[in-house]
Structure 1
Amino acid sequence: MRMTAVAGVLAVLAAGTAGGAPPAPSPGAVTGGALVGAAHGTGTLPPAHAVNGSGPAGRAPGDGAGASDAGAGGVGGPPRGWFVAVREVDPSVREDMRYAGARNFTGAVVDGYAEPVCLLTRPAAEALRRAQRRLLPRGYTLRVYDCYRPQRAVDRFVRWAREPDGPADLAAKAAHYPRVDRARLIPEGYIAEKSGHSRGSTLDVTLEHLSGRAVDMGTPFDFFDPRSHTDDPGAADTVRANRRLLRGVLAEQGFVNLPEEWWHFTHRPEAFPSTFFDFPVSVASLRP
């Protein structure tokens, strides 16, 4: 890629943030059970596998287990000023929001996805912008598949996993879970009743060339198989190098990878380490 193209992308990014993002609210501005101090590096942090709570280690899309301050349906609207649309923080990050359309393992739009937009807590979104700035001069960009995920979407995944496969599901099975029966997705930990995504600081993301050409990551997104493990020993050298690049750039900005999924990252410390939200995925949800 010519450097003029890279410079153009950087110029757009700079223009979109020239005015500066509004300051995050003070820790005291948020109540309702969230560990607010963690957003600023204070407070008690979750354990190493808190993305999954006490549930099975490692899998998505319903990775994780419960929190004491979240009801069965999740907490309602976002605390004002703490969630942002990533496109407003960094318009150069590409969005391919799979659960807002039919291109996902359920084959349909998932409950709670009113718009194809990536929402994150402000600290996570700003960290993602910093990672993007490291990648752009190297000819890469980030492409996100999922960000904040409402509890109702996780509930839908659980209901779906308990339904039998039918003739209409053959394509999705081949693309996402070819070597495991749908009935085994919950027992094997690929789907659970709580997800770290519902806390707002977790996202699913990949690399892409600025030209639009895909980067070989070895498996598709949401491929329920050990081959999706970040350090899968059977992966080709190129694939392992690409996964290391993604993990390394994000780790520099505080993101922690889930070892069982090369695409899954949580920004630490989490702004809301024990709160599972349930507001719809839409820009309107962020408005007062």
Structure 2
Amino acid sequence: MTNRICFFLLLVLISSCKDKPSEEKKPDQVFEEPMETFDSVPLEKPEPQKTFLTFEGLADTTFVRLADFSDGFAYDLRYATENNFLKEKVYDCAECYTRVKTAKALIAANSDFHDQGVRIKFFDCYRPNSVQYKMWEIVSNPQYVANPDKGSIHNKGGAVDITLETLEGEELDMGTDFDFFGKRAYHDMTDLPQNILDNRKLLKETMEQHGFWSIRTEWWHYNLSAGSNDKVADFKWECD
């Protein structure tokens, strides 16, 4: 009996000494690097390109708003303000209208000016004859204001008062302000600094190349030769 007990105990002992099954090894944990995130930045939408009207189908004598055909000009339309020799506002709102043929010549001239780093700046364009009467009531002097009974080329849509400025908006020195009535504003006044003479020459020669002619006493005034025979008009533009 004792031997049986000893044999049984031996079996138990051998069984307990066997290796226990090892725990299943878990694969090493893999930590993925978090993806870098960015705040969403909306893409800037390109500004819609402005489209301009064309002269196709328009008669040369039709009145047009110059800004509808080009954005290459600058404007300081003085008679729509009190900053003029009249010291009164005579336009209801500031707009630059001309006949089609005048507009075509101005755009062509301005293209040449752009090539030289400057552009046309307008002080006055087409002037309705009723406005000419207003001006005559304020200053009834034909030396400064054309008699409205006869009218001027401004009233025909063939004259403009202009200067030049850089493409960055700096006016070129012409020696006097617009509507300065004195000899210093004359084209034949040569007793001026050379840069002023050069600026006036650039303005005059370029405008003449495109069918305009000047008057002796006003460096800013230009008439389209092809517009002198048109009728005096009283077309009025609408104001917003």
Q: TM-score range by the shorter chain?
A: 0.7 to 0.9
Q: Which structure 2 segments of 5+ residues have no match?
A: 1-48
Residue 126 of structure 2 aligns with an amino acid whose one-letter code is: Y
Distance 2:129 2:158 in 1: 14
Give the C-alpha shift of residue 190 in structure 1.
2.1
Larger Rg over CA atoms: 2
Give the C-alpha shift of residue 260 in structure 1.
1.2
Question: Match of 2:84?
Answer: 104
2:179 paired with 1:222: yes
Residue 198 of structure 2 aligns to a residue whose secondary structure is: helix
Kindly report which structure 2 residues correspond to 1:1-288, keeping only aligned pairs within 5 A, or say none: 16-17=51-52, 20-25=54-59, 82-110=62-90, 113-162=91-140, 185-186=141-142, 189-193=143-147, 194-270=151-227, 273-282=229-238
Residue 58 of structure 2 aligns with an amino acid whose one-letter code is: A
Residue 263 of structure 1 aligns to a residue whose secondary structure is: strand
Residue 105 of structure 2 aligns to a residue whose secondary structure is: helix
Does structure 1 retain, via aligned residues, the 8 Å contact 2:98–2:126? yes
The number of aligned residues is 190
Does structure 2 retain, via aligned residues, the 8 Å contact 1:150–1:281? no
Residue 202 of structure 1 aligns with an amino acid whose one-letter code is: A
Distance 1:238 1:105 in 2: 26
Does structure 2 retain, via aligned residues, the 8 Å contact 1:16–1:90? no
C-alpha distance 231-108 of structure 1, shift in aligned 2 (>3 A): same
What value does the CA root-mean-square deviation take over the aligned residues? 2.2
TM-score under structure 1 normalisation? Answer: 0.61
C-alpha distance 125-115 of structure 1, shift in aligned 2 (>3 A): same
Residue 204 of structure 1 aligns to a residue whose secondary structure is: strand
C-alpha distance 281-20 of structure 1, shift in aligned 2 (>3 A): closer
Ranges of 4+ aligned residues in structure 1 off by more than 3 Å: 14-17, 281-284
Identical pairs, percent? 29
Give the C-alpha shift of residue 281 in structure 1.
4.2
Residue 102 of structure 1 aligns to a residue whose secondary structure is: coil
Distance 1:148 1:16 in 2: 24
Give the C-alpha shift of residue 222 in structure 1.
0.5
Q: Which structure 1 segments of 5+ residues have no match?
A: 1-13, 26-38, 40-78, 163-184
